[in-house]
Structure 1
Amino acid sequence: MPSAEVTAITKGPKHHFFGYYNKSPWNSTMTHLLVLQTDFMDRPPTGNEEMLIGLTPVDKPGTFEKIASTKTWNWQQSSMVQWIDDDNILFNSRLDDRFVSNIVNIHSGKTKVLPHPVYHLSPDKRLALLPNFSRLHDLRPGYGYPGLEDPNKDNYAPDDDGVFIMDMATGQRRLMVSLAQLADEKEKPSLHHWVNHLEFNRDGSRFVFLHRWKMPNRQGWQTRMLTMSSDGGDRYVLRDDGMTSHFDWRDADHMLAFARVKGVGDRYFLFTDRSQDYQIIADGVLMEDGHCSYSPRNKDWFLTDTYPDANGNRALILYNLPRKQPVTIGKFYGAFTSAIECRCDFHPRWSPDGRQICFDSFHEGTRQMYVMNIESIVG
């Protein structure tokens, strides 16, 4: 099997990363990558340190052109930095006593401020899903933002918090389903509830989210996965077996996820929305959680990674579905060396043309971004 070359797109002594696996750092023409720069990598941000947002031209690796900065970020998902189009980017920040989102023109610096932060954008960029980032920070450190206290911190399941959708043109936000509703459905009113990992499907008609609640004494949590129409109706419990982790929509109706199915165990599954149908994927081959995503060019391939093995090494893996064949394209040191919310997961992401991937890693001593050309493998 052909190998994949690795290129460091950033360099120290500053630390650089991008964030989560469900967004691409490349612009559509693949001339630049969005890059985030920090002065440290071994502790959680406090809400007072700036993270610089910039560009690295693909033909000038190691350079950094600053565009903006924000104090609203975390190590797992940064500040949801992403391209709106080839001229504008979006990221979250704080304005006085609230979190907001900014759309910034990379050429002029002209900025539009929206009154709420963004978690995930619909494919047409007209709608945004969002949770309460303060509550997320309190109940799932590493995914929310520090700096603003959740007004419902002591409320197990408030009726004015939950899954929100914002109109990107007007900034108006509406509550789609409340935490109180979700808690009532599980008959667990005396445990802390929250939502996480909200994502539109491929045509924007529906979205998925994880409903989670703390176990007694705040030790661990349980999860169920729900989908819902983007107009607020037809809510469906897709899985309620206690664990759903990372996922990616294949199309408008099917989703690859690492999850638990009672009687089967923890596996990669292909779920069919609004049904209890599922297919086990890579059974006996890929048996541990990873950040999975389909190729944007060929859905016969998906990309994933692993957490550290006994030697502290993580793997990057391509999987060919028709051939049921995994291809390990790299292994790099990535042990947990500090607070768990500071871990440097690979979070591998595809380039728009499906011929390259980008991942974050500290295997050379500082947190940096790397690119691999995989065209010889995926064709």
Structure 2
Amino acid sequence: MKTDNLISTLKAAKRNAKMVPELARVSYGAATRKFISEGRPLPIGTAIPAPPRPYRPESSRVPVQVMTPAGGHYMTTFFDIDPVSPSGRYLAVTKVPFIWRIPYVGDPAQVVVIDLLEGTATPIYTTRGWGAQLGANVQWGADDDTLYCNDVIEGRATGVALERSTGKARVLGGPIYGLSPDRKISLSGRIDYVNAGIPGYGVPEGLLHRPRQPHAENPEDGIWRTDLETGKSELFLSIADIVSALPGQEGLKGGTYYVFNVKVNAQGTRGFAVLFTRKIPGRPGWPPQLVTFDMDGSNIRLAMSDARWRIGGHHPSWLPDGDHIIMNLRDKKQPMAFVKFRYDGENIETLAPGQKGGGHPTLNPQLTHLLTDAYTSERDFVDDAGDVPIRCIDLASAEDQPLTRVNTRKLDGPRRIDPHPVWTDQGRKVIFNGIIDGYRQVLMADTSGLAEG
């Protein structure tokens, strides 16, 4: 067995081992939830106080505040989704009932809107379509009154359009994931399939009869395109069409392909999708690849191959120019680095040379600073208290000066609490997750002085 395949096998074995206690927790939670009330939901439409609270003013590099109410678990979505409304007044979060286990089918969470001006938190919707990593994938529409999230309705995982001011909900034909910048369409794989390889990013699933792809290269599933105005959803690119356009699939032959992360660039001209493959004969795990495409479904390119990714890498994201992608990537016998490359995989270039890659990297709109966090498994970055940094690297000097540090309870696996830091307000603020007094909370850092500092 080649070294790369051996490493992949060991990683897969480690992930499988972590799932054993997770499934035990889920089983216990599912059996006892009728008798134990957890994470009492808030009354829909009723605002509660949510004044911002200073966070570690004595040790943070920039002003940081806790934005969510104490005594409850709140989270944002992903590291490339701005949770602040178009005007900057509101913050959208998911209130989850617990963090000691991953959710089971039927467990409720809530979409909550924080009024940053009034200092209040208002729940506007209850959903059963959430995961421990992305919550309900809550995202803003084109204005302050429109939000989208995922739910499970009559057994179907799908998206919902919400009206903040009235609480009205409109069921969509497909899920919410990668939204176009004009907020007119959503591109997504089937979110009930995601947990097949990446637990915590899809909707809750049962202990038995879990949704899985019925075909190795499914011609009837893939990337779905949902019109957010009409609610109509249709197959945009099938898995069979994508795979047939890709080179270098010999090492994945016989495996079953799934669509995971789908994102649209800031210009609305191009998208990418992370594919993973399960049940490859003689090869455990679920190796990923990165595919890009034009928004009419043409020009399918392999931006990051399995052969290159398997050496080590994770978390791609579009750069602001819409032509390049940033991710963590490792060369053989080299530490992880931050790299950028063109949408077709060409012109790989290291960013912030000398800085170790990791976490969830993005660049601010001004292209002056790289923002990321760290996992508790990245021992170089964890302090004695178990806290991880919100890293901020000046690209001119390649100097890493963390904005602050935050606790994530040293969790790993599907229950881990990733900070998922994301730029907002044109790079003048950063939103991230953390643990405060035992509860998941959402924090905001003021980074307006970085350009001058």
Which runs of no fewer than 5 residues in structure 2 stay unpaired? 1-58
Amino acid at match of 1:234: N
- Aligned to 1:16, the other structure's residue is in SS state strand
Q: Does structure 1 residue 234 correspond to structure 2 residue 304?
A: no
Q: How far did residue 96 of structure 1 move?
A: 1.0
Could you tell me which of 364, 385, 391 is aligned with 1:317? 391
- Higher mean displacement: 222-231 or 175-184: 175-184
Q: Distance between the aligned counterparts of 2:420 and 2:202, measured in 1?
A: 17
Q: Does structure 1 residue 299 correspond to structure 2 residue 367?
A: yes
Q: Give the conservation status (yes or no) of the 8 Å contact 2:174–2:224.
A: no
Q: How far did residue 248 of structure 1 move?
A: 2.4
Q: Larger relative CO (CA 8 A, sep 6+): 1 or 2?
A: 1
Q: Give the conservation status (yes or no) of the 8 Å contact 1:10–1:368.
A: yes
Q: Does structure 1 residue 332 correspond to structure 2 residue 406?
A: yes
Amino acid at match of 2:369: W
Q: Distance between the aligned counterparts of 1:68 and 1:203, measured in 2?
A: 30
* TM-score, normalisation: structure 1: 0.90
Q: Give the conservation status (yes or no) of the 8 Å contact 1:54–1:64.
A: yes
Could you tell me which of 59, 73, 77 is aligned with 2:134? 77
Q: How far did residue 22 of structure 1 move?
A: 1.2
Q: Which of these two proteins has the greater Rg computed from alpha carbons?
A: 2
Partner of 1:347: 420
Matched residues, number: 375
Amino acid at match of 2:309: G
| 1:1-379 equivalent positions in 2, closer than 5 A | 3-61=61-119, 63-84=120-141, 85-147=143-205, 152-170=212-230, 171-179=232-240, 182=243, 186-187=249-250, 188-214=252-278, 219-240=284-305, 241-243=308-310, 244-250=313-319, 251-260=321-330, 266-285=336-355, 287-296=356-365, 298-308=366-376, 309=379, 311=384, 312-337=386-411, 340-379=413-452
Q: Deviations over 1:265-314 (max 9, x none)?
A: 632111112352121112221x2321112224x22222111111354321
- Aligned to 2:193, the other structure's residue is in SS state helix
Q: Given the superposition, is the C-alpha separation of residues 323 and 123 from structure 1 closer, same or farther in structure 2, using an over 3 Å criterion?
A: same
Structure 1 or 2: more strand by fraction: 1
Q: Given the superposition, is the C-alpha separation of residues 260 and 239 from structure 1 closer, same or farther in structure 2, using an over 3 Å criterion?
A: farther
Q: Distance between the aligned counterparts of 2:223 and 2:291, measured in 1?
A: 11
Q: Deviations over 1:88-120 (max 9, x none)?
A: 111111221312211111112233221111211
How large is the Cα RMSD of the aligned pairs?
2.5
Amino acid at match of 1:95: I
Q: Deviations over 1:133-192 (max 9, x none)?
A: 121122221111124866654543322222222233331312313157528851334323
Q: Give the conservation status (yes or no) of the 8 Å contact 1:28–1:352.
A: no
Amino acid at match of 1:319: I
Q: Give the conservation status (yes or no) of the 8 Å contact 1:159–1:181.
A: no
Q: Given the superposition, is the C-alpha separation of residues 326 and 254 from structure 1 closer, same or farther in structure 2, using an over 3 Å criterion?
A: same
Q: Distance between the aligned counterparts of 2:118 and 2:361, measured in 1?
A: 29
- Aligned to 2:83, the other structure's residue is in SS state coil
Q: Distance between the aligned counterparts of 2:129 and 2:304, measured in 1?
A: 32
Q: Distance between the aligned counterparts of 1:261 and 1:22, measured in 2?
A: 25
> Identity of counterpart residues, as a percentage?
23
Q: Distance between the aligned counterparts of 1:189 and 1:87, measured in 2?
A: 47
Q: Give the conservation status (yes or no) of the 8 Å contact 2:329–2:337.
A: yes
* TM-score, normalisation: structure 2: 0.76
Q: How far did residue 236 of structure 1 move?
A: 0.8
Q: How far did residue 193 of structure 1 move?
A: 2.2
Q: Give the conservation status (yes or no) of the 8 Å contact 2:60–2:403.
A: no
Amino acid at match of 2:404: G
Partner of 2:25: none
Q: Give the conservation status (yes or no) of the 8 Å contact 2:192–2:203.
A: yes
Q: Distance between the aligned counterparts of 2:222 and 2:171, measured in 1?
A: 23
Q: Distance between the aligned counterparts of 2:200 and 2:68, measured in 1?
A: 23
Which runs of no fewer than 5 residues in structure 1 stay unpaired? none
Amino acid at match of 1:49: D
Amino acid at match of 1:257: M
Q: Give the conservation status (yes or no) of the 8 Å contact 1:271–1:279.
A: yes
